[in-house]
Structure 1
Amino acid sequence: MNETYLVEETDQSKRIDKLLSDVIEDASRSQIQGWLKEDYVLVNGKAVKSNYKVQAGDEINWTIPETKPLELEPENIALEIVYEDSDVIVVNKPSGMVVHPAAGHEDGTLVNALLYHCNDLSGINGVERPGIVHRIDKDTSGLLMVAKNDKAHESLVKQLMDKTVERKYLAIVHGTIPHEYGTIEAPIGRDPKDRQRMAVVDSGRDAVTHFQVLEQFEDFSFVECKLETGRTHQIRVHMRYIHHPLAGDPKYGPRKTLELDGQALHAKSIGFEHPRSGEWLKFEVDPPEEFTETLEYLRSKS
Structure 2
Amino acid sequence: MKAAVLGSGSWGTTFAKVLVDSGTETVMWARRSELAETITRRHANPDYLSGVRLPSGLRATSDAAEALDGADLVVLVIPSQTLRENLRGWTKLLPPDATLVSLMKGIELGTAKRMSEVISEVAGAGPDRVAVVSGPNLAREIALEQPTATVVACADVDRGAQVQRACTAPYFRPYTNIDVVGTELGGAVKNVIALACGMAAGMGFGNNTTASLITRGLAETSRLGLALGADPMTFAGLAGLGDLVATCASPLSRNRSFGERLGKGESLEQAQAATHGQVAEGVKSCRSVLDLAERHGVDVPITRVMESVCRGVIGPVDAARLLMSRSTKSE
TM-score calculated relative to the size of structure 1: 0.29
Structure in which a larger fraction of residues adopt strand: 1
Q: Which has the larger Rg?
A: 1
Structure in which a larger fraction of residues adopt helix: 2
TM-score calculated relative to the size of structure 2: 0.27
